[in-house]
């Protein structure tokens, strides 16, 4: 059985099995991390073993907090688990979205957004069970690649970049 994550069921937040949350499209908590270095965003290509959106490009990392886990603790934990490094993260905002993600599964997430703007690039050591590749792209390059090949990107990264760039990156990163 997979992890129990915080989801709203009949208006009440309670622990629900992760796959069940996605099958039923329940509104649930999530975190997304965006690591920047020299105006470039670290993105990852999801491992082929992932149960949804395998092989697609996403933001630096994202996940669901465990039941009663603090969002900041969750973001730091997942960054280490997926990419093998730890950096100070700043809570930037909270975003809600709903998207069909893969073979009938639905993400209806209330996402705590965390950002790191680093002076020194981290040593990235991807966990091959989670991540098959990484890249550093400017936001302009990411916009261009999404426009040219939207099928290569997760639904949520397209939503973040299309609708929430200023909330996530701030106006200075978009200039």
* Catalytic residue ranges: 62, 109
> Cα–Cα distances in Å, from 117 out to 88, 112, 114, 123, 175?
9, 17, 10, 15, 16
Q: What would the 3-class secondary structure string for 31-86 be?
A: EEEEEEECCEEEEEEECCCCCCCCCCEECCEEECCCCCCCHHHHHHHHHHHHHCCC
φ/ψ of 153, rounded to 5, equals -120, 150
How many CB atoms lie under 10 A from the CB of residue 166? 12
**Residue length of the chain:** 175
Per the structure block, which two tokens stand in for 75?
């973001």
């Amino acid at each position: 059985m997979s992890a129990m994550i915080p989801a709203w069921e009949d208006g009440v937040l309670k622990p629900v099995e992760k796959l069940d949350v996605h099958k039923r499209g329940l509104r649930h908590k999530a975190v997304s991390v965006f690591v920047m270095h020299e105006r470039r965003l670290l993105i990852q290509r999801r491992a082929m073993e992932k149960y949804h959106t395998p092989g697609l490009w996403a933001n630096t990392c994202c996940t669901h907090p465990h039941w009663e886990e603090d969002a900041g603790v969750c973001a730091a934990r997942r960054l280490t688990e997926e990419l093998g490094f730890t950096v100070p993260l700043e809570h930037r905002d909270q975003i809600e979205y709903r998207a069909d993600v893969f073979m009938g599964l639905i993400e209806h997430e209330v996402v705590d957004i965390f950002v790191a703007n680093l002076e020194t690039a981290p040593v990235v050591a991807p966990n091959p069970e989670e991540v098959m590749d990484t890249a550093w792209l400017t936001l302009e390059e990411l916009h261009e690649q999404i426009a040219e090949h939207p099928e290569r990107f997760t639904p949520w990264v397209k939503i973040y970049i299309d609708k929430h760039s200023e909330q996530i990156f701030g106006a200075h990163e978009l200039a």
